[in-house]
Amino acid sequence: MSHPSPAPPRTTRRRSASVDLAIAAACVGALLLAIVVTAWLLDESSLRSHAGARLMPPGPDHLFGTDWLGRDLFTRTIMGLRLSLTVGVVTALLSVAVATVLGIAAALLGGWVDAVISWLIDLSIGIPHLVFMVLVAFSVGGGIKGIVIGISLTHWMSLARLIRADVLHLRHSDFVLASRGFGRSEWFIARRHLFGQVLPQALVGFVLMFPHVVLHEAALTFLGFGFSPQTPAIGILLHEGMPHISSGMWWMALFPGLCLLLVVLAFARLGDRLRVLTSSPGQGG
Amino acid sequence: MSLRATDLAYRVPGGHQLFTGLDLRVEAGQVVGLTGESGCGKSTLARILAGHLPPTTGTVLTDGYPVNAPGPRPVQLVQQHPEKAVNPRWTMRSVVAEAHDPDPALCERLGIRAEWYGRRPAELSGGELQRFCLLRALGPRTRYLIADEMTAMFDTLTQAELFAVVRDIVTERSIGLLVISHDIPLLDRLCDEIVAMPEQASAVSP
Ligand SMILES: Nc1ncnc2c1ncn2[C@@H]1O[C@H](COP(=O)(O)OP(=O)(O)OP(=O)(O)O)[C@@H](O)[C@H]1O
Ligand SMILES: [Mg+2]
């Protein structure tokens, strides 16, 4: 990102970048808090079916309407979001962990370890990952396990590649060589020089991975390879709601879909802002 | 007591031979100048002498010991590009602390201001940053100092001033100094002995 004019515009741009980041983080925080608190306040009994309140459009009693069993869709949406977010966090953390460990191992150990990991990366980047993910999820038996394993096994490659390149580059950089010359141990170098570079990468990776994971989780569930139909997951709600759109029951898919979109966009924005800040080394922390 | 390179050869990985059969000796307290045309391998030689880079063949001994023995090395290198020699994310305080606990009098002599310690490399000029690299290299264990185009970013006056300080420190502590430069008059003023890189570089084919 080169800019014709020198220092002053750069500082103001950087300041606005951190304000942007703060806004994005606040939005995500508020959303998460709202979901958790609402889920906690909600009465689980409205998850049960009520024969008298079937297929009601949105109104004061049922903000998002009800489904064909009379279950309150607002409650189901919030519960679904909470579940999706929890599974999303676990899955995104897992894939970032896999990426970080493999990326660092490839760069530091080199040799056949590097060869195998790089080969895996190249191989799996070539395969359309939705297909790969469905295959993995299906082969471990679907359900939560299918989601977590299917997504984390198919989403570590680009981050691992990034981290590998970073560590490789750093390992031969003048300041790491100098550090060794001052008598610093390999452990000191890994901790102070390499980790400081890898951690922001991993953090950005996590925040960017998260919305992606939540979408895939919904997609897997929607396709029938994810959560079981009894679970109030967002993917299930969408799956159930879709057939009713054509018969005029638009609210069944619309509200869960919008909520999912909102959460995903908020996270994607935060990840983007973070990436802008951390991609200028020496200026970020 | 000397920094001694014997029969050094270096071949750029996958490339050409930079030098072969190179011998070099810097005695404790001696100032040696090294010159040679651009690209002949002076910086590469400096890295090898400081133990940053293994030679293809040959040995480097400091006072009889291999240069890359564990622990703080007796040979320290001040590089041509100071911005690459320090972690861009660190403050200058951490950069210095990584090497040693500096003597305030030394900082003062090198013209380092207290307010620079809280800054990161990008917030210092090349010359200011190079002073920190020099400070870092002048630890208590340093016996030999290699200055590779150290003053390329200084004006003539500052350059003379800084080399006068370095020359004094080196004499006081009986450090052997290797000055790498294209500036022959500078080397003439500073050095006890001037060595030219052998010109075989381009003649030897892979
Ligand atoms: N890692 C490397 N990979 C490829 N080529 C390299 C590498 N390191 C050095 N070289 C090559 O080796 C040659 C010598 O480089 P070096 O930096 O030692 O030269 P120098 O004598 O210090 O030049 P200058 O006076 O311009 O600083 C150059 O031609 C350079 O391109
Ligand atoms: Mg050079």
B32 pLDDT above the threshold of 60: yes
In this structure, the residues whose C-beta lies within 6 A of any atom of ligand 1 are: B 12, 15, 18, 36, 38-44, 80, 149
Atom of ligand 1 nearest to the CA of B44: 18
- Amino acid B171: pLDDT: 94
Share of chain B above pLDDT 70, in %: 97
Find the domain containing B22 and state its range. 2-196
Nearest residue in chain A measured CA to CA from B86: A175
Residue B201 lies in a domain: no
When pLDDT is cut at 50, 70 and 90, the band that residue B204 belongs to is very low
Asked if the C-beta of A6 comes within 8 angstroms of chain B's C-beta atoms, the answer is no
Q: Which ligand is nearest to the CA of B45?
A: 1
More confident residue, A3 or B200: B200
Contacts for B196 with CB less than 8 Å, ≥ 6 apart: B34, B35, B36
Q: In what order do the strands lie in the sheet with B57-62?
A: B17-27, B2-11, B57-62, B65-66
- The residues of B whose Cβ lies within 8 A of any Cβ of A are 47, 50-53, 70-73, 75-77, 79, 81, 84-89, 98-100, 120-122, 136, 139
Averaged pLDDT, A56-68: 73
How far apart are alpha carbons B81 and B91 in whole angstroms? 18
**Mean pLDDT within A6-28:** 70
Residue with CA nearest ligand 1 atom 3: B12
Q: Hey, of A14, A175, A188, which one would you mutate to test binding to chain B, going by the most B CBs within 10 A of its CB? A: A175
CA A247 from chain centre, in angstroms, equals 34
Strands across the sheet containing B176-180: B75-78, B144-148, B176-180, B31-35, B193-196
Distance CA B104, CA A209 (A): 48
* B180, β-bridge pairs: B34, B148
Which of A181, A183, A283 has the CB atom closest to B52's CB atom? A181
**Which A positions 172-201 lie with beta carbon below 8 A of chain B?**
173-175, 177-184, 192-193, 196-197
Please, what's the largest Cα pairwise distance for chain A? 78
Q: Which two three-digit tokens encode residue A163?
A: 């981290």
The number of beta carbons lying within 10 Å of the beta carbon of residue B196 is 11
Quick one: pLDDT at residue A117?
94
Q: What percent of chain A has pLDDT over 70?
A: 86
Pairing of strands B193-196, B31-35: parallel
When mean pLDDT is compared across A51-55, A226-230, B5-9, B191-195, the lowest value belongs to A51-55
* Helical segments of A42-192, H only: 73-109, 111-126, 129-139, 143-154, 157-171, 174-181, 186-188
CB A264 within 8 A of CB A88: no
Q: Which protein residues have their CB within 5 A of the ion that is ligand 2?
A: B 42-43
Band the pLDDT of A281: cuts 50, 70, 90.
Answer: very low
Give me the pLDDT at residue A285, please.
35
Q: Which residues of B touch A184 (CB under 8 A)?
A: 98
The domain tally of chain B equals 1
Phi-psi region of B78 (alpha: psi -120 to 50; beta: other; left: phi over 0): beta
Average pLDDT for residues A24-48, to the nearest whole number? 81
Top pLDDT among A81 and A249 is at A81
Between B184 and A238, the higher pLDDT residue: B184
Pocket mutation for ligand 1, best pick of B16, B34, B38, B42 (most atoms within 8 Å of C-beta): B42
User: What's the pLDDT at A284?
Assistant: 36
pLDDT digits (tens, 9 = 90+) for A83-129: 888 888 899 999 999 999 999 889 888 889 999 999 999 988 888 88
* Strand duo B2-11 + B57-62: pairing: antiparallel
C-alpha B194/C-alpha B47 separation (Å) is: 19
Of residues A236 and A43, which shows the higher confidence score? A236
Query: In terms of DSSP bridges, do strands B17-27 and B2-11 run parallel, antiparallel, or are they unpaired?
Result: antiparallel
Q: What are the tens digits of pLDDT across the range A154-178?
A: 888 989 999 999 999 898 899 999 9
pLDDT (tens digit per residue) in A185-237: 888 998 899 888 888 888 888 888 888 888 888 888 888 887 877 777 777 77
Find, among A265, A270, A266, A281, the residue nearest to A200 by Cα.
A281
Cα B22 to Cα A114, B4, B44, B50, B58: the distances in Å are: 35, 11, 12, 16, 9
Tokens describing residue B146: 């290699």
CB B148 within 8 A of CB B78: yes
- DSSP one-letter string for B34-102: EE--TTSSHHHHHHHHTTSS--SEEEEEETTEETT-SSS-SEEEE-S-HHHHS-TTS-HHHHHHHH---
> Residue A245 and residue A54: Cα distance in Å, rounded?
16
The answer to whether the CB of B177 falls within 8 A of the CB of B31 is: yes
Q: What angle separates helix A7-41 from helix A73-109, to the nearest 10 degrees?
A: 130
Torsion of CA A189, A194, A199, A202, to 10 degrees: -140
Q: How confident is the model at residue B42 (pLDDT cuts 50, 70, 90)?
A: very high
Q: What is the pLDDT of residues B48-95, one digit of tens each?
A: 999 999 999 999 999 989 988 888 999 999 998 999 999 998 999 999
Confidence class of residue B29 from pLDDT cuts 50, 70 and 90?
very high
Q: Tell me what pLDDT residue B106 has.
A: 93
Q: What is the mean pLDDT of chain B?
A: 91
Distance of CA A239 to the CA centre of its chain: 21
CB contact under 8 A, B52 and A174: yes
B89 occurs within a structural domain = yes
| Residue A197 pLDDT | 82
Give the nearest partner residue to A282 out of B50, B120, B136, using CB atoms.
B120
- Please tell me the predicted confidence (pLDDT) of residue A279: 63
Domains along chain A?
40-49+63-279 (1.10.3720.10)
Pick from A178, A180, A282: which is nearest to B121 by CB? Answer: A282
pLDDT band at A272; cut points 50, 70, 90: confident
Interval A55-79 mean pLDDT: 76
Mean pLDDT of chain A: 81
Q: What atom of ligand 1 comes closest to residue B182's alpha carbon?
A: 25
* Domain membership flag for residue B65: yes
For residue B177, being part of any structural domain is answered with yes
pLDDT over threshold 60, residue B116: yes
CATH number for the domain spanning B158: value is 3.40.50.300
Model confidence pTM above 0.90: no
Is the per-residue pLDDT at A280 higher than 70? no
Average pLDDT over residues A234-248: 77
Between residues 28 and 67 of chain A, which touch chain B (CB distance below 8 Å)?
A: none
CA-nearest of A42, A51, A53 to A76 is A42
Could you say which of B77, B98, B122 has the minimum Cβ distance to residue A184?
A: B98
β-sheet bridge partners, residue B32: B178, B193
